Structure 1
Amino acid sequence: MTQLIEYEDSSDEVRAVYDDIRATRKTDEINNFWKALANHPPTLQRTWQTVREVMTIPGEIDPLMRELIYIAVSVTNGCEYCIASHTSAAYAKGMSDNMFGELMAIVATANTTNRLANGYQIPVDEQFKT
């Protein structure tokens, strides 16, 4: 198992990222994901920078929808950690149990039809090409 680097045991470089995570998320908590990545500070910095930009900078997609997309991809990729953390974040942003159920139905349906389309090697219809 990967060592989890606690704040008090971290380098100045890692502490700077942890401090930014805390400030951005308005929390004192550092999730285990970040503590694990702290074993390689360049990966921690790069990953946090990307996640912060994609998940927190305002854009056309609202914060709850971003979490729902993240959950859908995480379910498809089978990432237990990401499913748990982003489901928690989605509930905090207003997701209901019914919304989660609908999301899981969409994910399951998309995975089924994707596999069928790939298995049958179905050519894309002209009207769907952009």
Structure 2
Amino acid sequence: MTKLIEYDQASAEVKAVYDDIRATRQTEYINNFWKAIANHPPTLKRTWETLKEVMVSPGEIDPLVRELIYIAVSVTNGCDYCIASHTAAARGKGMSDAMFGELLGIIATANTTNRLANGYQVPVDEIFKIGDR
């Protein structure tokens, strides 16, 4: 198992990222994910900056919808840690048990139809191509 870098063991570079995580999320808690990737400070910094830009910065997609998308990708990729952490974040943003169940149904259906389309090598309809809009 990867060593988790606690705040009191961290380098100044890692502490700066941890401090930004705490300030951005308005919490003192640092997730184990960040503590694990802190073993390589450049990866920690780059990953945090990307996640903050995509998941926290204002945009056209509602914060709850962002978390639902993250859960969908995490379920599809089989990342138990990400499923757990983003499900908790989605619940904090208002996701109900019914929404979670519906989301899982959508994920399962999309994975099934994706595999069928790939297996049958279905050609994309001209009307669906981005350049035709």
TM, length-normalised to structure 1: 0.99
1:32 aligns with 32
Q: What code does the residue aligned with 1:116 have?
A: L
Q: CA deviation at 1:67?
A: 0.2
1:125 aligns with 2:125: yes
Q: CA deviation at 1:73?
A: 0.3
Structure 1: gaps of 5 or more residues: none
Q: CA deviation at 1:11?
A: 0.3
1:44 aligns with 44
The whole-number CA distance in structure 2 between the counterparts of 1:28 and 1:57 is 20
Q: How does 1:32-111 map to 2 (within 5 A)?
A: 32-111=32-111
Structure 2: gaps of 5 or more residues: none
1:7 aligns with 2:18: no
Q: What code does the residue aligned with 2:85 have?
A: S
Q: CA deviation at 1:22?
A: 0.2
Match of 1:71, SS state, is helix
Question: Which aligned runs of 4 or more in structure 1 are off by greater than 4 angstroms?
Answer: none
C-alpha deviations, 1:73-130, integer Å up to 9, x for none? 0000000000000000000000000000000000000000000000000001111112
TM, length-normalised to structure 2: 0.97
* Number of equivalenced pairs: 130
The whole-number CA distance in structure 1 between the counterparts of 2:117 and 2:14 is 44
Q: CA deviation at 1:15?
A: 0.1
User: Matched residues, percent identical?
Assistant: 78
CA RMSD of aligned residues (A): 0.4
The whole-number CA distance in structure 2 between the counterparts of 1:101 and 1:26 is 29
Q: What code does the residue aligned with 2:66 have?
A: R
